[in-house]
Amino acid sequence: MTAGGRRGPLRRLLATVLCVVPLGLALAACGPTAEQSAARQMASVSPAPAPSVPVRRTSAPALPAPLPAPTPTPTPEPLKVGVTGNQEGMPQPVQDACQFLLRRDTASFPAAEAGDCLRAAMIAGSGATQTLTTASSWIPPGTHTMQFTTAPEFSLRLEDSGLGLKITAGAGGGSVDTGGGRVSANTSGTPEEVYAAVLSRAAELTANPDRVAELLQESDSLTVDYGAVLDGAARTKISGHRPADAEAGDMMPTSVTLWLDDFYRPVRFELSAQTRGITSSITADNTGWGS
């Protein structure tokens, strides 16, 4: 074998050794294998992120906010009105006490307010002359004339010349004279004095502002007629009923009707009661208020 023939196989072996034995150099020189290339390609692909699952937190349910305390609705004050026309000049205390009538309210007239109104109107009127007609009970039957004052203090003097009857009442006390001499009114005195006290108190019923207020304050379902007419004149009419009072006997009526002038002073009373089977009545007409 020649030297050239021997060098052919040797060269092929050397080439194989150079590509296989020095692995690090061989890899660098010969390039990546197919497996390495596939591995690198797989590593270069980023995995898709896992979907996020919301974390469920358990907590106590939120309590509703407390409701605010209800604000009370204020009751509107009734409209306050003044006077016009025929009522010009009405004293201020009467205007203040008689707002129900000035507003021409149509509801039932509150009894306490009605009493205050009539009291104020009568005191402002100073006094008047009264013609008093009675039947059956209270003071002796007949028609009597009374002069009374309501300011600066209350007083009355009733006379009936046909009966020889005189009755007084007021701050200084009361008395009765039936022709046999004056007898003082005294509820704890002699029978004559007790009788005098009964007559004196009965005479006050339609003249004393406090007694008139009492009549109304103890009455039920007071109604007002603003278009009433009495003897051809426009009047305000108040009507009501008062519960029977056994203790008062025949001293207090159970049916009450009043007619008022423009200044709410009473110009007529019509009072009646049924006591022990006997019907009692009083009609009282007032004239000359303030004179």
Determine contact, residues 256/219, Cβ cutoff 8 Å. yes
The upper half-sphere exposure of residue 262, i.e. CA atoms within 13 Å in the direction of its Cβ, equals 11
pTM of the model: 0.72
Using the 8-state DSSP alphabet, how is residue 262 labeled?
T
pLDDT score for 210: 96
What is the DSSP annotation of 131-179?
A: EEEEESSSSPSEEEEEEEE-SSS-EEEEEETTTTEEEEEETT--EEESS
Any bridge partners for residue 155, and if so which?
Answer: 149, 170
Nearest to 283 by CA among 149, 159, 163, 136: 136
Cα-only R_g, the chain? 56
Question: CB-side exposure of 111: number of CA atoms within 13 Å?
Answer: 13
Contact present, 275 and 254 (Cβ < 8 Å): no
Residue 269 is predicted with a pLDDT of 97
- Break the chain into its structural domains and give their ranges: 88-287
Residue 138 has pLDDT above 90, yes or no: no
For domain 88-287, the question of CATH label 2.50.20.20 is answered with yes
Q: What pLDDT sits at residue 101?
A: 98
Q: Which of 236, 204, 230, 220 is nearest to 98 (CA)?
A: 236
Tokens, residue 97: 């006490």
Residue pLDDT, tens place only, 102-118: 999 999 999 999 999 99
Q: What is the model's pLDDT at position 291?
A: 72
291 CB-side CA count, 13 A:
8
- Confidence at residue 16, expressed as pLDDT on a 0 to 100 scale: 42
Q: What is the pLDDT of residues 268-289, one digit of tens each?
A: 999 998 777 778 899 999 999 9
270 DSSP β-pair partners: 257, 283
